[in-house]
Amino acid sequence: MTMAQIRPRIAVPRTVLMCRPDHFTVSYRINPWMRPQDPVDTARAVRQWEELYRTYLRLGFDVQLIDPVPGLPDMVYAANGGQVVDGVAHGARFRHGERAAEGPLYMEWFRRHGYDVREPVATNEGEGDFLLVGDTVFAGSGFRSDPASHAEAARVFGREVVSLGLVDPRFYHLDTAFAVLSDGEGEDEVAYYPEAFDEPSRALLASRFPDAILVGEDDAVVFGLNCFSDGHHVVLAAQATGFAAQLAERGFAPIGVDLSELLRGGGGVKCCTLELRS
């Protein structure tokens, strides 16, 4: 994509669900980022999360909150709580027992706020592994969500679901290696880290998104791709400076936020953000 081909960027304020990390810690290890032997600064995690929250408010987002629950330190990663499309909330069913209680709590929140809740059958970890691009859901598997959950999501939402295989345990959810930058306004635009995917998935992504931003390892390992876009502004890890430059070249407005303390649990900007699509 040349400078002459850069499309005008239109910001569309989002409605999102978040959860304060009041009880955040790393007391178990279910991904390579978690090191229970290293003390976590919960107060710092809260301050960093609050900066993300304020950033969304400045962008005009409608930010809804779910109450954090003691003993569920990963509840801050709201994206894993389900996927909401067209007012239908497909609940999450977590792979690891340490997070199992989060699924029913998020589904109860959806019910109380008027969403049509669908109980999950297969293991799926919400928007961690299911990302909507235009009319299509791209779904990850390999570490967390069961491949059977892809067909289940297709039935629930009545949309095409495209399966992608993850092969690097550092990028155990799709949203750590694949980012939706713009959709629904003509050409869908994404970014991804190719080495996180198996060969068939890399070929599929190259075919579907020939103009995608390909992100390097330095930006991927600081969870730069675990970002959130309103179609113009892209909120991402402050440390992902190379990716920020790539975004600016395409006409996006990158906004860096430091969530380094929450990265110690294996999450970043997108992990803390569940989009609510009415």
Report, as residue numbers or ranges, the catalytic residues: 173, 271
Tell me the Ramachandran region of residue 168: left when phi exceeds 0, alpha when psi lies from -120 to 50, beta otherwise: beta
Nearby residues of 255 by Cβ (< 8 Å), 6 or more positions away: 55, 233, 234, 235, 236
- The 3-state secondary structure of the chain, one letter per residue: CCHHHCCCCCCCCCEEEECCCCCCCCCCCCCCCCCCCCCCCHHHHHHHHHHHHHHHHHCCCEEEECCCCCCCHHHHCHHHHEEEECCEEEECECCCHHHCCHHHHHHHHHHHCCCEEECCCCCECHHHCEEEECCEEEEEECCCCCCHHHHHHHHHHCCCEEEEEECCCCCCCHHHCEEEEECCCCCCEEEECHHHECHHHHHHHHHHCCCCEECCHHHHCCCCCCCEECCCEEEEECCCHHHHHHHHHCCCEEEEECCHHHHCCCCCCHHHCEEECC
